[in-house]
Structure 1
Amino acid sequence: MNKQSKPSFFNRFWRNKPVRWSLLGILLPVSAVMTAYGVTEPLPGSDFKIERISQELPMPTIAAADTQSGYWAQELVQQGDSLADVLERLSVPQDDIRKIMAHNNASRNMKNLSSNQSVSIRVNAAGEVTDVQFFSDEELERNLVALEKKDGKWRVSHADTDMKTLPTLRAVHIRSSAIGDMLRAEIPADLYIQLKEIFADNFDMQSLKEGDVIRLLYNSMYFRGQQMAVGDILAAEVVKNGKTYHAYYYSQGKGDEESGSYYDQNGKSLQQKEGFTSEPVGGARISSPFGYRVHPIHHSVRMHTGIDYAAPSGTPIKAAADGVLTFKGWRGGYGNTVIIRHSNGVETLYGHMSAFSTAGGNVRAGEIIGYVGSTGQSTGPHLHYEARVNGQPVNPATVALPTPKLTPGNMTAFRKQQKAASATLAAVRNLPVSVAQLD
């Protein structure tokens, strides 16, 4: 890989817009002359009188203050990157890179990173790198790796876990391609995949061209002030050839709000999810939904890559859709596992089985493929159900599970939620340019 010259930390600091504007604000000249206009109330019978008074005021005293502050910078992982490669592109000093790679299992963690995810560093006011953060992909979940430099030594961060979820608003005007323009607007590739699935029955995202528009409202997860991940899209509008397509996320509200589906402006299901007509475990309770959360025991930030169904050991597990059974056997932390490839490009995984059925080769939706168990990394009997697109875990509820129709009661709640989301998107509807955020 060709290495380009790296900008200095001063240049990176100067490119930090909030800091730059703070400095410019202090350096701007302050006028020493103020002009006041006084209007006196005329007395009865007297002429109306206007008098102009000019007075030179002393130059205000501005106390010197250190306006510099720490900031975060991030770099995308490219195919074949090591942690050292990414940190070098971020201009981290070689001595720090050597120390980071020598400790904290950094090399092992980086082996589990995938392309297009980010590594973040924090630079303090003195231009020194003090923190490194990234997610490590592992079986069943993604774990946040947070390193900090204390007294010249790199170690695992002991800062309090503080994962915040905040709504994020984006508007993108297509100039070249949807994926390229979304990435330039700092929208993660994960959201492009989500949009592709949401509108798959209406159009192909790759067909968007110059003049089309994408507007998004979605959740972003922040750790210690740095955006680390994104959640589900809450609402989306795509203008294609002058026609606007709408999508709104809505959950039935049964305690698993992360497991909702997408509907259009009329409350009609957007995703037909062709073939996905069967629940893997009928009537079972979702004990752990898809998404990021703080582990209650380890107090670490983790992403659960699937949906867990709590059910008694031995409960039949069914194929969610027609497909080809491509794997049956032991798969590390998943324990006894079955993987099925479906015709629409989605792959589903069923883990922790106690036993397999005789199913093999081509399977049909609803066919029993195994039985609930607690094999592998499991604390009790349940099914771990995953859906993947291009090898990346996606929310099974929005991709590989039947979409429930809205009841009259659901429709009332949906309309209220839709109205709020639409009002938020309205803030970027008439803007002629792409925007990263409206503050």
Structure 2
Amino acid sequence: MTAYAVTEPLPQNQDFKTERISQELPPVKITAEPVQSGYWLQEVVKEDDTLPDVLARLGVAQSDIQQIMAKSSIRKDVNKLRSGHSVSLRVDEAGQVSDVQFFTDEELEQNLVALEKVNGKWQASTSEVDMKTMPTLRAVQIRSSAIGDMLRAEIPSEVYLQLREIFADTLDMQSLKEGDVIRLLYNSMYFRGQQMAVGDILAAEIVKGGKTYQAYYYSQGKGNEESGNYYDQNGKSLQQKAGFNTQPVNYTHISSPFGYRVHPIRHTVHMHTGIDYAAPIGTPVRAAADGKLTFKGWRGGYGHTVMLVHANGVETLYGHLSAFSDAQGSVRAGDIIGYVGTSGQSTGPHLHYEARVNGQPVNPTTVALPTPKLTPNNMTAFKRSQKESGMLLAQLRGLSVSVAQLD
């Protein structure tokens, strides 16, 4: 076989000519900027820990610890560290400790203490207070226990407590076994780049024995009145709350909700451990559920206080009362236990209402207050919110490993 190719010469273009030009360019100078490589460390507070104990475990020099403890304001806070909370410190690019911050555990609220080292001396931080709230995604494959695997995935213990209460009427968190899955979307709060606290769980999925349980947070309130509850994918309330069907007081408005806030005047960060219901002095205060009266009297900043413990282990506290009723021993939901006042650390007449689980303050709206049913308008808004949260959780489905964050 023979192949032939016939070509014709390319036409010659006489409109241009080729010319080579060489030019020497000056050398390029690159100036390297110094890299800021500071980072944060955290240490969990153990039972009976003092601030020096925690700082020493973090490797802070004794000279620095002595300077920090020499400040009178810090000495007052040493005995107010709560077991399970964290102390955070920042190491700068030179390898020196430059910042320390932690929350104190006080009556009515927890306050952020933020210190920085300036020119070799420790002082209160002058950084602008800016607590940023960001959504956080987590996926946990159960290998030993829910609480253990969640902690290993760097999920704070407060999230486990929230999750346990959300699904209390549906499943037992301690019954999760190897192969079960937890998927979470919750708010994390950051101060100066360091995670300081967690907020509400926005959405959760638990796969137990191949069956999926879902929870979605929805709030019907606005502004300071904002409070939310948890519903399943069909908008049905998840929490029966073991008899908490009574509002503790007829109030005019919520003057301070549960959670972390920046004080508008002092520009400090604090966590309010309950809900403040503004109401006229003398307004009756009622037991939110059946329970046993365990305390009636004066309790520091709470003023005149009543405390009840309920069958499900939840403890409720009613503070700033002006007077007590004759109630004692066992009480029924709706029984009058006292009257609104302004005793203790109070700036005006209101009821301070707290709920606690294992001694830890939790959001009363999700544990110890009636859950409102969704109206048709609320259901439309709930479905929209549920779709947004569900799209985020969907990123975690199908993963066979624990995920600390999806970037």
TM-score (structure 2 length as normaliser): 0.91
Q: Counterpart of 2:344 in structure 1: which amino acid?
A: G
| Alignment equivalent of 1:387, drawn from 350, 355, 379 | 355
User: 1:19 aligns to what?
Assistant: none
Deviation of 1:160 (Å): 1.1
| Alignment equivalent of 1:229, drawn from 194, 197, 207 | 197
Deviation of 1:108 (Å): 2.8
1:270-324, Cα deviation, whole Å (9 max, x unpaired): 0000111100013542221100010111110000000011111110000000000
| Alignment equivalent of 1:216, drawn from 153, 173, 184 | 184
SS in 2 for 1:206: helix
Asked if residue 148 in structure 1 is aligned to residue 116 in structure 2, the reply is: yes
Task: Answer yes or no: is the 8 Å Cα contact 1:322–1:342 preserved in 2.
Answer: yes
d(CA) in 1 for partners of 2:83 and 2:176?
24
CA distance change for structure 1 residues 321 and 64 in 2, over 3 Å: closer, same or farther? same
User: 1:204 aligns to what?
Assistant: 172
The structure that has the greater radius of gyration is: 2
SS in 1 for 2:76: helix
Asked if residue 246 in structure 1 is aligned to residue 208 in structure 2, the reply is: no
SS in 1 for 2:234: coil
* Larger deviation, residues 166-175 vs 383-392: 166-175
Task: Answer yes or no: is the 8 Å Cα contact 1:326–1:341 preserved in 2.
Answer: yes
User: 1:192 aligns to what?
Assistant: 160
Deviation of 1:106 (Å): 2.6
1:87-114, Cα deviation, whole Å (9 max, x unpaired): 1111111211111122243343131111
1:95-153, Cα deviation, whole Å (9 max, x unpaired): 11111122243343131111111100011100000100000011100000001111111
SS in 2 for 1:279: coil
Task: Answer yes or no: is the 8 Å Cα contact 1:104–1:155 preserved in 2.
Answer: no
Asked if residue 325 in structure 1 is aligned to residue 293 in structure 2, the reply is: yes
1:43-93, Cα deviation, whole Å (9 max, x unpaired): x9899xxxxxxxxxxx99864443342111111111121111111111111
SS in 2 for 1:433: coil
1:228-256, Cα deviation, whole Å (9 max, x unpaired): 00011011111111111100011112434
Query: Considering only aligned residues, what root-mean-square deviation do their CA atoms show, in Å?
Result: 1.8
d(CA) in 1 for partners of 2:396 and 2:226?
26
CA distance change for structure 1 residues 202 and 126 in 2, over 3 Å: closer, same or farther? same
Task: Answer yes or no: is the 8 Å Cα contact 2:243–2:289 preserved in 1.
Answer: yes
1:173-192, Cα deviation, whole Å (9 max, x unpaired): 11111111111111110010
TM alignment of 1:27-426, pairs within 5 A: 63-256=31-224, 258-426=226-394
Q: Counterpart of 1:290 in structure 2: which amino acid?
A: F
d(CA) in 2 for partners of 1:274 and 1:76?
33
Task: Answer yes or no: is the 8 Å Cα contact 1:120–1:133 preserved in 2.
Answer: yes
Task: Answer yes or no: is the 8 Å Cα contact 1:104–1:156 preserved in 2.
Answer: no
Deviation of 1:334 (Å): 0.5
SS in 1 for 2:77: helix
SS in 1 for 2:328: coil
1:367-423, Cα deviation, whole Å (9 max, x unpaired): 000111111111100000000000000000000001011111110000000000000
Q: Counterpart of 2:396 in structure 1: which amino acid?
A: V
User: 1:35 aligns to what?
Assistant: none
* Larger deviation, residues 215-224 vs 80-89: 80-89
Task: Answer yes or no: is the 8 Å Cα contact 2:261–2:271 preserved in 1.
Answer: yes
Could you list the runs of 5+ residues in structure 1 that have no partner in the other structure? 1-43, 48-58
d(CA) in 1 for partners of 2:28 and 2:163?
54
Q: Counterpart of 1:80 in structure 2: which amino acid?
A: D
Task: Answer yes or no: is the 8 Å Cα contact 2:318–2:354 preserved in 1.
Answer: yes
d(CA) in 1 for partners of 2:246 and 2:55?
46
d(CA) in 2 for partners of 1:190 and 1:198?
12
SS in 2 for 1:428: coil
Task: Answer yes or no: is the 8 Å Cα contact 1:83–1:106 preserved in 2.
Answer: no
Task: Answer yes or no: is the 8 Å Cα contact 2:189–2:199 preserved in 1.
Answer: yes
SS in 2 for 1:159: coil
Asked if residue 427 in structure 1 is aligned to residue 395 in structure 2, the reply is: yes
Q: Counterpart of 2:352 in structure 1: which amino acid?
A: H
CA distance change for structure 1 residues 395 and 121 in 2, over 3 Å: closer, same or farther? same
CA distance change for structure 1 residues 46 and 132 in 2, over 3 Å: closer, same or farther? farther
d(CA) in 1 for partners of 2:38 and 2:65?
20
SS in 2 for 1:72: strand
Task: Answer yes or no: is the 8 Å Cα contact 2:225–2:253 preserved in 1.
Answer: no
* Larger deviation, residues 102-111 vs 148-157: 102-111
d(CA) in 2 for partners of 1:75 and 1:254?
36
d(CA) in 2 for partners of 1:46 and 1:105?
94
d(CA) in 1 for partners of 2:361 and 2:211?
31
d(CA) in 2 for partners of 1:208 and 1:256?
37
Task: Answer yes or no: is the 8 Å Cα contact 1:258–1:290 preserved in 2.
Answer: no
CA distance change for structure 1 residues 46 and 266 in 2, over 3 Å: closer, same or farther? farther
TM-score (structure 1 length as normaliser): 0.85
